[in-house]
Amino acid sequence: MSDKNIVATSDAEIAVHWQEEDYFYPPPSFIHQANLVDETIGDRFSLDKFPEYYKEFAELLTWYKYWDEVLDTSDAPCWKWFRGGKLNASFNCIDRHLTENKNKTAIHFVPELEEERVLHVTYQELFVRVNEFAALLRDTAKLKRGDRVTIHMPMSAELPITMLACARLGIIHSVVFGGFSASACADRIVDSNSRVLITMDAYYRSGKLLDHKAVDDEACVLAEKEGQKVDTLLVWQRYPGRMSTKTSLVGGRDIVVNEELKNYYGARVKPVQMLAEEPLFLMYTSGTTGKPKGAQHGTGGYLAYVTAMSKYIQDIHPEDVYWCMADIGWITGHSFIVYGPLALGASTVIYEGVPTYPDAGRCWRIAQDLDVNIFHTAPTAIRALRKVGPDEPAKYNYHFKHMTTVGEPIEPEVWKWYHKVVGKGKAVIVDTYWQTETGGFLCASLPGMQPMKPGSTGPGVPGIHTIIFDENGNIIPRGSGKAGNICIQNPWPGCFQTIWGNRKRFVDTYFGMYNKNPSSKDWRDWPYLTGDAAMEAADGYIRILGRIDDVINVSGHRLGTKEIESAALTVPEIAEAAVVPVAHEIKGKEPELYVSLKPGFDPSPELQKKVADAVVTQIGKIARCKNVWIVPDMPKTRSGKIMRRVLGAISNRGDVGNVMTLANPEIVDQIKDMVS
Ligand code: WTA
């Protein structure tokens, strides 16, 4: 691919481009049992049959009332899927499996400490625990349909129990990644107007018991300062009967869930019949502005979509033991640890801790001990596992039939290790491309029908019709291998409904670029902008090149450059801040920060540390910067715009290009000297 084919973007520009590799084919043993082997699939899901083909997805669920209309476009581009239909997500993930499978394991919870017992929660136990907790939410916490509740919990069996109890009552959950800081949690409490926060006292990370409740005590204080009082903090106990931390309870606000549940022994709560278009949850994600946005997902469309994706792309059968090694605090965990697999009645594994704790064989021991046969993770974890224990998988007796990757491009070399060593050459691999906003997969190869191509995701999954535009808004011919902005031509049920409380931002960000008629009610006028650069090869496979906006993908997690820069600017000495992604062998990308000082202040290692710490305090450890460089000035255009592209090239030891048009070209060499 020549350079001029690359869309000029912050991330894509520095993306590592690799050679195209061979195809790999699914083994016959997989094809024989695959959920989807159907030569007519392309025809059945062709655009001329849109939107009716999505009925097939909705029919995987149990409805109280069928829908009146598959797609209601009257409020374009806020699509309403299965309008008029009624269902409950908790019922679909639990109750409907009880008749045949109540004694089957729904959740295997694996604590990080190996000496602790693995918890096997059957569907019947899940039913009981979700009902009792739902009663507590309703009667103690006084929550009802449509209320928002923020959940800041580590990986535990109690996290899906909490989510499903919310879903049972029609309460909109907003799960915040457990590793996020008090400040990041407070922002989300405020934006969603949550008066109830649900937490857990403590959890293990790399063998250390972390005092998690203390983080949420602080989150409550910060949220109140910003105008949202948390009147009830529900605290799950890691070890029932005794708090796992020294943190004391705040009278009148804190309730120990394990104690309070004793009042709800045997309680049963009827699932609320939700309209398909009513929201199920919010998931905050990073975008181009400083404030994270709450992606609002609907009940019927979302659940139908993730169930279909789990069935056809992840090939989950009810008898499978499936392990998605992601965190439930991200969309991957929502869709593919909780909702998708449980809607299909499979057994889903939840692992508390670090994949390489206490040693490089941990994951493979878990797979062996629980008979995991489907494994889902991200390239960053695969890279880490390969680095610390390239020969470990061979030592364990497990058999994966199917593996997936998600979140960032995977290098063919890493892909091949995943295939040969982790999959023992016998598992199919599906590289799934999607986003928080999209609810489920956009692109992937069909595991039983299409070959795998290392380094590429697949074509659009059934029902998704991709289109790639160039910078001028012209359609790039299919299969031309030219890079452009990848969009989706048609709406799909998994797509988020809006940004919580900010419809304008939703419309502008995702549909503004290519919509020519803002009053149109025709879905054809509203291609969805993913924000990624991509190219489609002659075989129809898509390769994702990276973000076209100000988003950095660190270990498969999205961080907004503005979020990091705003965090740096909370340090009073800092005048300007600019962050760029730097290639990292395990994480894919890592943020590196450049700051300049206000007059009268001098650079010092203490100040560098202060800025680095401010980023971690404001956002969390995942945003930790590789370096903080205090520079005399930022490279700027004559109109005063910071040239992040130049900083990105310096950080990645690349070519800075022609800098003579800058207002201060001399600064480039000064910064280079400092960084090299
Ligand atoms: C990137 C994660 C390459 C992409 C589910 C997207 C990928 C962003 C892939 C969304 C993939 C996701 N190959 N890049 N298979 N999957 N991405 O919202 O840039 O955390 O826009 O959702 O991750 O990240 P998010």
Residue of 603, 591, 611, 605 whose CA lies nearest to 652 = 591
Expressed in angstroms and rounded, the spacing between residue 34 Cα and the centre of ligand 1 is: 25
Q: In ligand 1, which atom is closest to the CA atom of 285?
A: 18
- Of 17-21, 151-155, 293-297, 304-308, give the lowest mean pLDDT range: 17-21
Angle subtended by helix axes 182-191 and 212-225, to nearest 10: 50
Q: How much of the chain exceeds pLDDT 90, in percent?
A: 86
CA distance 101 to 408: 36
Q: In ligand 1, which atom is closest to the CA atom of 330?
A: 20
Q: Is the CB of 433 under 6 A from ligand 1?
A: yes
Expressed in angstroms and rounded, the spacing between residue 418 Cα and the centre of ligand 1 is: 19
Expressed in angstroms and rounded, the spacing between residue 437 Cα and the centre of ligand 1 is: 10
Nearest residue CA, atom 10 of ligand 1?
435
pLDDT at 488 over 50: yes
For residue 267, what are the contacts with CB-CB under 8 A and spacing of at least 6? Answer: 131, 132, 134, 135
Mean pLDDT of the chain, nearest integer: 93
Q: In ligand 1, which atom is closest to the CA atom of 558?
A: 20
Strand 542-547 and strand 528-536: the pairing is antiparallel
Expressed in angstroms and rounded, the spacing between residue 434 Cα and the centre of ligand 1 is: 5
Q: In ligand 1, which atom is closest to the CA atom of 11?
A: 19
Nearest residue CA, atom 12 of ligand 1?
407
Tens digit of each residue's pLDDT (9 = 90 or more) over 218-267 = 999 999 999 999 999 999 999 998 999 989 999 999 999 999 999 999 99
pLDDT at 479 over 90: yes
Instruction: State if pTM tops 0.80.
Output: yes
Expressed in angstroms and rounded, the spacing between residue 636 Cα and the centre of ligand 1 is: 30
Tens digit of each residue's pLDDT (9 = 90 or more) over 134-146 = 999 999 999 999 9
Tens digit of each residue's pLDDT (9 = 90 or more) over 573-603 = 998 899 999 999 998 889 999 999 998 999 9
Q: Is the CB of 285 under 6 A from ligand 1?
A: yes
Q: Work out the pLDDT band at 638, boundaries 50, 70, 90.
A: confident
Cβ atoms of 274 and 86 within 8 Å: the answer is yes
Q: What is the DSSP string of 484-544?
A: EEEEESS--TTS--EETT-HHHHHHHHHTTT-S-TT---GGG-PEEEEEEEEE-TTS-EEE
Q: In ligand 1, which atom is closest to the CA atom of 546?
A: 19
Expressed in angstroms and rounded, the spacing between residue 408 Cα and the centre of ligand 1 is: 5
CA distance 7 to 355: 35
Q: Report the half-sphere exposure of 4 (CA within 13 A, side-chain side).
A: 0
Q: Is the CB of 406 under 6 A from ligand 1?
A: yes
Q: What is the DSSP letter of 336?
A: I
Residue of 259, 272, 7 whose CA lies nearest to 133 = 259
pLDDT the model gives residue 439: 98
CA distance 279 to 257: 25
Angle at 563 between CA 560 and CA 564, to 5 degrees: 95
Q: In ligand 1, which atom is closest to the CA atom of 405?
A: 15
Q: Is the CB of 407 under 6 A from ligand 1?
A: yes
Q: Report the half-sphere exposure of 621 (CA within 13 A, side-chain side).
A: 4
Which of 339, 376, 544 has the most ligand 1 atoms within 8 A of CB, as the residue to mutate? 544
CA distance 632 to 609: 17
Cβ atoms of 474 and 468 within 8 Å: the answer is no
* Cα–Cα distances in angstroms (integers) from residue 141 to residues 158, 255, 260, in the given order: 17, 9, 11
Q: In ligand 1, which atom is closest to the CA atom of 544?
A: 3
Expressed in angstroms and rounded, the spacing between residue 596 Cα and the centre of ligand 1 is: 32
Tens digit of each residue's pLDDT (9 = 90 or more) over 99-144 = 999 999 999 999 999 999 999 999 999 999 999 999 999 999 999 9
- The pair of structure tokens assigned to 271 is 């699932």
Asked if residue 358 has a cis previous peptide bond (ω within 30° of 0), the answer is yes
Expressed in angstroms and rounded, the spacing between residue 488 Cα and the centre of ligand 1 is: 15
Angle at 20 between CA 14 and CA 25, to 5 degrees: 135
Cα dihedral across residues 591, 532, 284, 645: positive or negative: positive
Nearest residue CA, atom 25 of ligand 1?
435
Q: Is the CB of 373 under 6 A from ligand 1?
A: no
Which one is predicted more confidently, 476 or 559? 476
Which of 380, 553, 559 has the most ligand 1 atoms within 8 A of CB, as the residue to mutate? 553
CA distance 269 to 586: 46
Residue of 570, 554, 498 whose CA lies nearest to 290 = 570
For residue 331, what are the contacts with CB-CB under 8 A and spacing of at least 6? Answer: 283, 285, 295, 435, 436, 439
Q: What is the DSSP string of 201-257?
A: SEEEETTEEEEHHHHHHHHHHHHHHTT----EEEEE-SBTTB-SSSPPPPTTTEEEH
Expressed in angstroms and rounded, the spacing between residue 146 Cα and the centre of ligand 1 is: 29
Expressed in angstroms and rounded, the spacing between residue 127 Cα and the centre of ligand 1 is: 33
Expressed in angstroms and rounded, the spacing between residue 247 Cα and the centre of ligand 1 is: 37
Tens digit of each residue's pLDDT (9 = 90 or more) over 358-377 = 999 999 999 999 999 999 99
Residue of 396, 338, 404, 336 whose CA lies nearest to 367 = 396
CA distance 3 to 112: 46
Which of 461, 532, 549 has the most ligand 1 atoms within 8 A of CB, as the residue to mutate? 532
pLDDT at 3 over 60: no
Strand 588-597 and strand 628-630: the pairing is parallel
Q: Work out the pLDDT band at 560, boundaries 50, 70, 90.
A: confident
pLDDT the model gives residue 21: 53
pLDDT at 507 over 60: yes
* Cα–Cα distances in angstroms (integers) from residue 588 to residues 16, 38, 162, 426, 553, in the given order: 10, 36, 33, 27, 8
CA distance 528 to 533: 13
Q: Is the CB of 547 under 6 A from ligand 1?
A: yes
- At 125, give phi and psi (nearest 5°): -65, -40
Expressed in angstroms and rounded, the spacing between residue 436 Cα and the centre of ligand 1 is: 8
- The pair of structure tokens assigned to 150 is 């923020």
Q: Work out the pLDDT band at 472, boundaries 50, 70, 90.
A: confident
pLDDT the model gives residue 174: 98
Strand 321-324 and strand 293-298: the pairing is unpaired
Q: Is the CB of 67 under 6 A from ligand 1?
A: no
Tens digit of each residue's pLDDT (9 = 90 or more) over 273-316 = 999 999 999 999 987 666 789 999 999 999 999 999 999 999 99
- Residues composing the chain: 676
* Cα–Cα distances in angstroms (integers) from residue 613 to residues 181, 227, 527, 624, in the given order: 12, 25, 40, 8
For residue 335, what are the contacts with CB-CB under 8 A and spacing of at least 6? Answer: 306, 309, 310, 439, 440, 494
Amino acid at site 131: N
